[in-house]
């Protein structure tokens, strides 16, 4: 996976540079059909750069990207790249510097590689099976060792929630966990990076709007770092399926906090038959 990781990191950082060329300027904003959120020229430029780079480097692999129509021919592929070229477009549009570029790789539906790049902060977390997890920031390279199982000192966990979508039920989950602090942030990728770097211990969203490209890279990185990633019922994610909506939310946590968080969620919002895995 060394070459795959090198290519993905380079493409994520190059896409981030393209996004920053637009960030903070006056640019048109379109809205996707069906209330699927805003889209901008930066989303499309980053999408194009990443897809073309992956297709050139790995022509036999399939690609699923948020900004490109889904080609269900991917269902027959063993290897699928899942790309969110600008995760947190709402924050990008509002000039809030909390957005990410995410590239993940799933092999036979299992996440094996992930890259989360935060362009405004010049921080990149990346990892792959057989490689471990590393952080590249303005101070250089740092290997991220295994996440601690729990929290030293007996305090409550730091919980990170969506800046724009966290409702009363999500905050109720944080209270049941005895959260010592809540950190609001844009971008799924940025919130999971906070857990990976120790700036938070739990991320949870009860929303049903995220998609597989929001989850694959964070999933791979949390697992590689010794943490837990699943839907909010504790079920593992599977990629390269026909449906791509995460209908049961997302959860990333340190290992010892995983079961208590799933239990807290079940107390706040019982499972319904309409939920998918």
Q: Which of 119, 143, 167 marks a domain boundary?
A: 143
Query: Do residues 36 and 93 share a domain?
Result: yes
Which strand ranges, in their side-by-side order, compose the sheet holding 100-107?
Answer: 62-65, 79-87, 100-107, 110-118, 123-128, 132-137, 140-143
Digit-by-digit pLDDT tens for the chain (277 residues) are 999 999 999 999 999 999 999 999 989 998 877 667 889 999 999 999 999 999 999 999 999 999 999 989 999 899 999 999 999 999 999 999 999 999 999 999 999 999 999 999 999 999 999 999 999 999 999 999 899 998 877 799 999 998 877 688 999 999 999 999 999 999 999 999 999 999 999 999 998 889 999 999 999 999 999 999 999 999 999 999 999 999 899 999 999 999 999 999 999 998 764 544 3
pLDDT at 15: 98
Query: Do residues 226 and 261 share a domain?
Result: yes
Query: Do residues 18 and 47 share a domain?
Result: yes
Give bridge partners of residue 103 from the DSSP assignment.
83, 115
Number of H helices, E strands in the chain: 7, 14
pLDDT at 272: 62
Cut 0.75: pTM above it: yes
Structural domain that includes position 35:
2-143
Q: Helix, strand or coil for residue 262?
A: helix
CATH number at residue 108: 3.30.540.10
pLDDT at 276: 42
Residues 6+ apart with CB under 8 A from 116: 12, 100, 101, 102, 124, 125, 126, 189, 190, 192, 193, 217, 218, 221
Query: Do residues 163 and 125 share a domain?
Result: no
Has residue 36 been placed in a domain? yes
Residues 6+ apart with CB under 8 A from 50: 11, 12, 15, 65, 83, 85, 101, 103
Secondary structure letter of residue 119 according to DSSP: G
CATH number at residue 198: 3.40.190.80
pLDDT at 153: 78
| C-alpha 94: how far from chain center | 20
pLDDT at 266: 96
Burial class (CB in 10 A: 0-12, 13-18, 19+), 204: buried
How many domains is the chain built from?
2
| C-alpha 106: how far from chain center | 14
Residue among 162, 166, 167 at smallest CA distance from 191: 162
Has residue 164 been placed in a domain? yes
Query: Do residues 120 and 168 share a domain?
Result: no
Q: Which of 143, 173, 205 marks a domain boundary?
A: 143
State the CB neighbour count (10 A cutoff) for residue 273.
4
Query: Do residues 64 and 184 share a domain?
Result: no
Q: Helix, strand or coil for residue 53?
A: helix
Query: Do residues 27 and 77 share a domain?
Result: yes
Measured distance CA(43)–CA(231) in Å, rounded: 26
Q: Which of 143, 173, 195 marks a domain boundary?
A: 143
């Amino acid at each position: 996976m060394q070459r795959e990781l090198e290519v993905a990191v380079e493409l994520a950082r190059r896409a981030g540079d393209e996004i920053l060329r637009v960030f903070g300027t006056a640019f048109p904003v379109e809205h996707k059909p069906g209330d699927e959120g805003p889209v901008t020229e930066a989303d499309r430029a980053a999408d194009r750069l990443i897809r073309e780079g992956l297709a050139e480097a790995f022509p036999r692999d399939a690609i699923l990207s948020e900004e490109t129509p889904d080609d269900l021919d991917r269902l027959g592929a063993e290897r699928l790249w899942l790309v969110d070229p600008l995760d947190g477009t709402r924050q990008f549009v509002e000039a809030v510097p909390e957005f990410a570029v995410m590239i993940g790789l799933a092999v036979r539906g299992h996440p094996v590689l992930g890259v989360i790049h935060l362009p405004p902060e010049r921080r990149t977390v990346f990892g792959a099976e057989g490689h471990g997890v590393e952080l590249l920031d303005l101070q250089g390279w740092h290997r991220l060792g295994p996440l601690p199982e729990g929290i030293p000192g007996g305090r409550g966990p730091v919980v990170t929630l969506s800046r724009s979508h966290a409702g009363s039920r999500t905050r109720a989950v944080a209270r049941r966990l005895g959260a010592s602090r809540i950190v609001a942030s844009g971008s799924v990728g940025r919130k999971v990076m906070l857990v990976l770097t120790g700036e938070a211990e739990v991320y949870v969203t009860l929303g049903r709007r995220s998609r597989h490209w929001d989850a694959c890279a964070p999933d791979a990185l949390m697992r590689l770092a010794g943490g837990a990633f699943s839907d909010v019922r504790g079920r593992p994610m599977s990629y390269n399926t026909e449906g791509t909506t995460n209908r049961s939310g997302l959860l990333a946590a340190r290992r010892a906090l995983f079961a208590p968080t799933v239990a807290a969620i079940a107390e706040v919002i019982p499972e319904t038959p309409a939920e998918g895995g």
